[in-house]
Amino acid sequence: MSDFSSSTLRKAAALVMAAGLMLAADLFGPGEAAAQLTRKGAVSPADVSNSGPDEGAAAQLTPLGAVSPADVSNPRPDAGDIVLPMPCGLSLALRPAAVPVDGLLKDFETRLGSAEQRPHGYYDRQFVGFIASPLRLKDLPAAWRDRVKKQLADHSGGHIFLIGKYEVSVAQWEAVMGECGPLQSHSAAPKTDVAWYEAVAFTEKYMNWLLEHAPESLPAFADDPKNIGFLRLPTEAEWEYAARGGHAVSSD
């Protein structure tokens, strides 16, 4: 992430090499959501005519913009997700990315960017990136290992980093940087208009919260358990490498 000013916070978090890369849940804006209603449990005319008072109540109307903690944290959950707790009962979903290297101080060279000629080719140019991570499978919390191993079944040995599955939502940002409050129609939207220094402050504050409230949820070196994994913003190379599919996708 080279430019954060006035752009979507593409994940102010991801373990060891954090950040995010997928689209958050689609929601109406605050004004639209309040004005629209949808039927919960759509029914046919036959259902209504043959139902009693109690059954008919199941077709109650609910606001289309209503959101839940799952909507703002992990709207499309998967069995392979790695989930960290957050303040206010929220969570942060992460996905693993493998780095095919065989040493703590080694890095993986990959080609990133685009070879296509574009109007802003200087910014989208192809370039060589270097990816590294100190974590290995044995360094991860026991609850994570099977999930990560299944996802990276074709990745024997090597190192791993985890990156945010989605952009940081408005609700997640407010939970870390502000106070817990009721979820609103815009709470699941990505947090925008964030300066780089503010994003760094978010990762620092969230990391301190994890150390105080859920230290067992963080990875640590198997040979040195006092040396733990930490949250930070990803580099441009790390973000694009993970977004492309990591080691499973050729850099060509």
Which tokens go with 193?
A: 């208009």
Tell me what the pLDDT averaged over the chain comes to.
73
With a cut of 70, say whether residue 205 has pLDDT above it.
Answer: yes
List, for residues 153-194, the tens digit of each pLDDT value: 666 567 889 999 999 999 999 999 988 989 998 999 999 999
Q: What is the pLDDT of residue 52?
A: 44
Partners of 231 in the beta sheet?
A: 15
Q: Is the confidence at residue 147, as pLDDT, over 80?
A: yes
pLDDT score of 118: 65
User: Which residues, 6 or more positions from 128, have their beta carbon under 8 angstroms from its beta carbon?
Assistant: 109, 110, 111, 112
Q: Which two tokens stand for residue 92?
A: 């942060």
Higher pLDDT, 121 or 48: 121
Assess contact for 49 and 58: CB atoms under 8 A.
Answer: no
CB count in 10 Å sphere of residue 54: 7
- Residue 97: CB atoms within 10 A of its CB come to 27
* List of residues 6+ apart from 97 with CB closer than 8 A: 17, 160, 161, 162, 163, 238, 241, 242, 246, 247
- Termini Cα distance of the chain: 22
Query: In 10 A of CB 32, how many CB atoms?
Result: 12
HSE (side-chain half, CA atoms, 13 Å) at 197: 0
Angle at 238 between CA 159 and CA 216, to 5 degrees: 55
Q: What is the pLDDT of residue 241?
A: 86
The DSSP bridge partners found for residue 161 are 97
Burial degree of 221 (CB within 10 A; 0-12, 13-18, 19+): middle
H helices of the chain, in order, are 30-35, 45-49, 53-56, 69-73, 121-124, 142-151, 170-177, 196-213, 236-244
| Mean pLDDT, residues 40-52 | 39
| This prediction's pTM | 0.70
pLDDT of residue 92: 97
* The pLDDT of residue 221 is above 70: yes
Biggest CA–CA distance in the chain, Å, is 71
CB 157 within 8 A of CB 134: no
